[in-house]
Structure 1
Amino acid sequence: MAAGTEELLAGGGYRALAVALAAVLLSLLRRRLPATALTVTAALIPHVGGFTPLLAVVGWSAGRRIAGPIRALVAFTAAYAVCIGVTLLGDEGRQSPLVLTLLITLYFLATAVVPGLSSRYWTQRRTLLHALRERNAQLLRERAMVAGQARLRERQRIAQDMHDSLGHQLALISVHTGALEVDPELTERQREAVAVLRGASVTAMHELREVVGILRDGVEAPETTSETNPAPDESGRAGRGTAGIDVLVETGRAAGNRVELRRSGEPRPLAAAADHAAYRIVQEALTNAYKHAPGAAICVELRHEPDSFVVEVVNGAADGGGGSGAAVSGGQGLTGLRERARLVGGMVHAGPADGGGFRVAGVLPYGGVEAAPFVGPSAAGASPDPDADLLAADAGLPSPRSRVGGVVLGCGIAVAAMVALAAVAVFGLVFLVGELDKGMIEPAEYARVQVGADEDQVRGRLPDGDTVATAGLRGKGPEPPEGAECLVLMSSEVGESIDTEPVFRFCFKDGKLIEKKAYEVRR
């Protein structure tokens, strides 16, 4: 661009090649030495018109890369002063210094200062947004740590309460059932029932200890879920998985309940979480049947279907005829089952069965499926999330409010810069027109002035010529008469070429107009 512009303005050849090489050099230096590149470009601008696009690029780099507002102000001021000085020295008095300074000021503001200010604003805004994102991310991490510590303290308190209350009661049950088991007055049938109770209390004690450990440490103890080892271990606890369902059924039968187990389909392995969820569904459904429909027949069915594993527990109405209406309310147990199934990508349904009774069915996937996002009651709510800005910053994105504020501020700065430039341009135009009126006349006015007329009369009809517009015209043209004082004015007509200016000169001596001349002066 620099070479092409220079070729159009001043001709091609080696000059255009030199301009292109200089533009390449300054473009490479503008990142490492922004102030130097800006000053050199500003110094070359008066003699190399093709550097106008380069000045805008160098000004943009200097605005964002010069550290500190004072240093940036000094750099741009020095570049402006160098540009003004080189321009005035190269002009050699051909134009008015004031007009030339005004034009160079407008040019430098538009091509260097405005890009520099825009670049500096953009860089500072990005730096501020980056700092805000880091701070918001740190606040989010600190808030998560505080919330985690609060949850840990609450879990420890709950664990301690469970251990102190339930542990004591289960220990009493275990001791009393152990004593009953060796009572010689009990029949064999009663001893078997008491043994079942004692085994259940021991298992409940161990499970309570595991739950307390999870609440305290957040880590669940290893479980026995192997298909090859479904039997209870030394603690009396059954393996918690589909293999342990057989033990649940046998325990229920030993307690005098009518429980039937059915299996269908080709067995396929389940994910650990889904396997544990199946065990819990059967355990909770059997517990509800024992409580709400005592004596009713219970059917546990496990179906390995092609796309999912289905667990279904159906119990009939209670022998007393009361049905299972009391179990319809569900309670916390069924709510927990639904949440457990949701977390592994499955679902649980509980409700009255056809012909009376109650039915609990769960559908679980074979592989690990990500849980569906939870949609709370206020998912479609009308109130915005107060943490939206923090979450957006933590994700590396500016929040909606920061984007709108940045756009408004940027537009405001741009509009202010444009208004300032327009005001300066209007002021310069009005000033230039006023100065031209003080030093310009029509050719017809020149023709009406007669040599020999009174000086005061002639000066009263003509402008005083005291203007910067004619400062560069004095001393040029034909030699004035000896001892005469001359008034030089510009013509309202244009010259024969762009480099010449038509001039009218009026010379006075001894109170009379002794000469008037019209000629052209080369600017």
Structure 2
Amino acid sequence: MRAGGRWLAPPEQWSRRRFAGEATAALTLAALAAGLGRLLGASVTVIGAEAVAIVVLSLLRRRLPATVLALTAALTPVGNAFLPLMMAAGWSAGRRITGASRAAAAFAGAYALCVAVALVDTWSASSALPLVLLTTLSFLAVAVVPGLASRYWTQRRTLLHTLRERNSQLLRERAMVAGQARLRERQRIAQDMHDSLGHRLALISVHTGALEVDRELTPRQREVVAVLREASVTAMHELREVVGILRDGVEAPAPASGDGTGRAARGTAGVAALVEASRAAGNAAELTYSGEARPLSAAADHAAYRIVQEALTNAYKHAPGAPITVDLRWEPDSLVVEIVNGAASHATGEVVSGGQGLTGLHERARLVGGMVHAGPVADGGFRVAGVLPYGAGEAAPVVDAADGPRRRPAEAPSGNGPWAVHRTLPEREWAAHGSIGHSRSGGIVLGCGIALGAVVLLGVAVLVGVFFLVGSLDKSMIEPSEYEAIEVGAAEKTVRERLPSGGTIATAGLDAKGPKEPEGSRCLVLMSSEPGQSLASEPVFRFCFKDGKLVEKKSYEVKR
């Protein structure tokens, strides 16, 4: 039983949901077949046999698509209840038969079986061509069109899946290449910083240390030299941390307070030391707190420290001697860091500046979900204010002038540096829509074109079929009054001139369903223009000729 179940399942794993869907589809097709059979007046035995066959074939159509298509095509001419199953079999065959040549061969074989069974079931030399035409039209509409639609849909879905996987692979490979290049550049920069800046800072530390113990210096000069020495030692520690970040990509945890080694606190706890160092350097600096202190994320805490540090540095360079106010306000939803310095008391000379300090502050705040504002104030001074949210925060979207807001992909590093990886427009469309925009629109246009062509072809075929069917009915149908007017014994030539020629697809097989024909006679079977007593029966008029005369006429009903 289990082996049979494993064989019945298609190559992919069947889930419970899929199995329930297949069972529901099979029972639905069986119910439709029973309804059609009941409408056509079939017996209960025939209806039950057809329902069982449809359930079995429906469950097998995924495992044996070509075989089920052929069997269904052979059974459809002898039982119209198989038409719904033919559509399902055509859909499965178009989707699951691999190779265009194999699919074409399977549909051609099924069509040949359908035509052969139809001719054998209702053979008549005069109606063979119309019967083949109608069978061809029905096979095109019920089997070929669903098969083409299913094959196109499956191939397009497979293509999009392949393109999506390749796009993801290219993004991963590009991120890896960019990461390797970024790592090599970081190592080069770290080595240059260590070799050049480290050497210079070490010289400054040594010389200031020797100068600090010089007996000829005044106490005020020794105090200033001590500040310089402490600043050089702190700079050396910070340089080591930056070099470590560049080499390893991991930032070392900053101390909460000074630890006696020259390392200052990094965060709001170190702001007081920055202000104190500013006072020691001769600046009038004031620090105020307001609100209840709350914990910040490590990145936001460090960003607050760097905002104060950069603002104080700018005040030293551009407004030496001006009063400075540092204010930390713990608001309900964020920390506000505000640094305001007064106007410069005298004109300053040319100031050496890299021009990247405030830009770096904006980026630091953005990465933690905050913002920084910097600008002059009314009294001629300068104000730097940062708003940093509590918690981890979220980076704001990067605004690109050409494409509008967008976010960095998960593979790309953060930042706007020269090694940052950003997605191009087609890649962002892949991420947003699951496929490339022009491929999607082109696929929709192509699919609509195929569907429109199939509908037009089917419409033309239906019109041709209706034309032939109307012509065949005109040649095989008479009024009951005309039947009554013809008398037995009349000349065959006279009777045939009054009657249609018959022998069309509409009357195919009716001669074999009536009473026994007179010995040695030739009979003409025609249909009545009036409907029968039920949908399951057809009124028929039969005229039999022998020796040039009408020897018998009969009126009876046959089952459809």
Deviates more, 1:1-10 or 1:203-212: 203-212
For the pair 1:361 / 2:385, whether they are aligned, the reply is: yes
**SS in structure 2 of the partner of residue 364 of structure 1:** strand
Contact map agreement 2:518 2:544 (CA 8 A) in 1? no
Task: Tell me what 1:375 maps to.
Answer: 399
Determine which of 189, 214, 218 is the counterpart of 2:249. Answer: 218
Matched, 1:500 2:500: no
The CA distance in 2 between the partners of 1:452 and 1:494, in whole Å, is 22
Contact 2:492 2:545 in 1 (8 A): no
SS of aligned partner of 2:399: coil
For residue 373 of structure 2, give the secondary structure of its aligned residue in structure 1. strand
Does the CA contact (< 8 Å) of 1:133 and 1:394 recur in 2?
no
Q: 1:417 aligns with which of 454, 461, 465?
A: 454
Q: Give the aligned residue type for 1:253.
A: R
* Match status 1:285 vs 2:288: no
Greater shift after overlay, 267-276 or 256-265? 256-265
Distance 1:358 1:471 in 2: 102
- Offset at residue 158 of structure 1 (A): 3.3
Query: How far has the Cα of 1:286 moved from its partner?
Result: 1.4
Q: Is 1:189 aligned with 2:220?
A: yes
Write out per-residue CA displacement over residues 54-87 of structure 1, whole angstroms, 9 at most, x where no aligned residue. 1111221122122222332232223222222222
Residue of structure 1 equivalent to 2:426: 389
Secondary structure of 2:375 counterpart: strand
Equivalent-residue separation in structure 1 for 2:326 and 2:290 (angstroms): 11
CA distance in 1: counterparts of 2:426 and 2:162, whole angstroms: 14
Q: 1:313, CA displacement in angstroms?
A: 2.0
Q: Give CA deviations for 1:366-396 in whole Å, capped at 9, x if unaligned.
A: 2222122122433559xxx993433343467
Please name the residue that 1:231 is paired with: 258
Amino acid corresponding to residue 332 of structure 2 in structure 1: P
Partner of 2:186: 155
Instruction: Give percent identity, aligned residues only.
Output: 62
- Residue 114, structure 1, aligned to residue 145, structure 2: yes
Give unmatched runs, 5+ long, in structure 2: 1-31, 406-421, 533-537
How far did residue 9 of structure 1 move? 0.5
Give the TM-score, by structure 1 length: 0.80
Change in Cα spacing, 1:325 to 1:82, as seen in structure 2 (3 Å) is farther
Aligned-pair CA distance for 1:499: 5.7
Matched with 1:344 is 368
Pair 1:199-2:230 in alignment = yes
Provide Cα deviations, 1:197-227, integer angstroms capped at 9, x if missing partner.
Answer: 1221121122122222222332212211x2x
Residue 511 of structure 1 corresponds to: none
Cα distance change of structure 1 residues 176 and 473 upon mapping to structure 2, 3 Å threshold: closer
Relative to structure 1, the CA distance from residue 472 to residue 380 in structure 2 (aligned partners, 3 Å threshold; closer, same or farther) is closer
- Residues 477 and 521 in structure 1, CA contact (< 8 A), matched pair in contact too: no
Which residue does 1:33 correspond to in 2? Answer: 64
CA contact (8 A) 1:61 1:119 kept: yes
Aligned residue number for residue 174 of structure 1: 205
Whether contact under 8 Å (2:270, 2:305) holds in the other structure is: yes
Question: How many angstroms apart in 1 are the aligned matches of 2:508 and 2:272?
Answer: 113
Match of residue 305, structure 1, among 323, 331, 345: 331
CA displacement at 1:131 relative to structure 2: 0.8
1:266 aligned residue: 292
**Following the alignment from structure 1 to structure 2, what is the Cα–Cα distance between the partners of residues 437 and 5?**
27
**Post-superposition offset of 1:471:** 9.6
Q: Does 1:138 align with 2:169?
A: yes
Change (3 A) 1:73 1:145: same
Partner of 1:510: none
2:102 paired with 1:71: yes
Cα distance change of structure 1 residues 299 and 232 upon mapping to structure 2, 3 Å threshold:
farther
CA distance in 1, matches of 2:290, 2:471: 104
AA in 2 matched with 1:338: H
Q: Which residue does 1:8 correspond to in 2?
A: 39
- For residues 158 and 501 of structure 1, the distance between their equivalents in structure 2, rounded to whole angstroms, comes to 104
Contact 1:223–1:240 (CA<8 Å) still a contact in 2?
Answer: yes
Deviations 1:310-365 (A, max 9, x none): 22222223333x4x9999x9932122112212222222222233434222222222
In 1, are the aligned partners of 2:322 and 2:344 still within 8 Å (CA)?
A: yes
Match of 2:281 in 1: 255
- Amino acid corresponding to residue 359 of structure 1 in structure 2: R
Q: CA deviation at 1:135?
A: 1.0
Q: Distance in 2 between matches of 1:142 and 1:452?
A: 90
Report if the CA contact (8 A) 2:36-2:81 is conserved: yes
Paired residue secondary structure (1:45) = helix
Displacement, 1:259?
2.1
Whether the aligned pair in 1 keeps the contact of 2:36 and 2:80 (CA below 8 Å) is yes
1:87 aligns with 2:124: no
Q: Is the 8 A contact 2:327 2:338 kept in 1?
A: yes
Counterparts of 1:474 and 1:26, CA distance in 2:
34
> Structure 1's 299 and 431: CA in aligned 2 closer, same or farther, altered over 3 A?
closer
Deviation at 1:467, TM superposition (A): 9.0
Q: 2: distance between equivalents of 1:436 and 1:517?
A: 25
> Which residue type is aligned with residue 378 of structure 1?
A
Q: Alignment partner for residue 269 of structure 2, among 223, 240, 243?
A: 243
What is the SS of the residue equivalent to 1:309?
Answer: strand
Q: Cα distance, 1:95 vs. partner?
A: 6.3
- Asked if the contact 2:300–2:365 (Cα under 8 Å) also holds between the matched residues in 1, the reply is yes
In the alignment, structure 1 residue 331 sits paired with structure 2 residue 355: yes
Q: Which runs of 5+ in 1 are unaligned?
A: 454-458, 508-513
Taking only aligned residues, the RMSD between alpha carbons, in angstroms, comes to 4.1
Indicate which of 432, 435, 440 corresponds to 1:398: 435
More deviation in 492-501 or 74-83? 492-501
1:154 offset after TM fit, Å? 3.3
Per-residue deviation, 1:2: 0.5
Q: Which residue identity lines up with residue 221 of structure 2 in the other structure?
A: Q
Q: 3-state DSSP class of the match of 1:314?
A: strand
Question: Taking structure 1 as reference, are residues 308 and 496 closer, same or farther at Cα in structure 2, changes over 3 Å only?
Answer: closer
* Structure 2 letter corresponding to 1:270: L
CA distance in 2, matches of 1:462, 1:14: 43
CA contact (8 A) 1:504 1:518 kept: yes
Q: Secondary structure at the match of 2:40?
A: helix
What secondary structure is seen at the aligned counterpart in 1 of 2:272?
Answer: helix
**For residues 173 and 427 of structure 1, do their structure 2 counterparts lie closer, same or farther at Cα, with a shift above 3 Å needed?**
same
1:477 positional shift: 5.9
- Asked if the contact 2:127–2:503 (Cα under 8 Å) also holds between the matched residues in 1, the reply is no
Per-residue Cα deviation, 1:403-425 (whole angstroms, up to 9, x for no partner)? 32222211222222233334444
Distance verdict in 2 for CA 1:265–1:428, change over 3 Å: closer
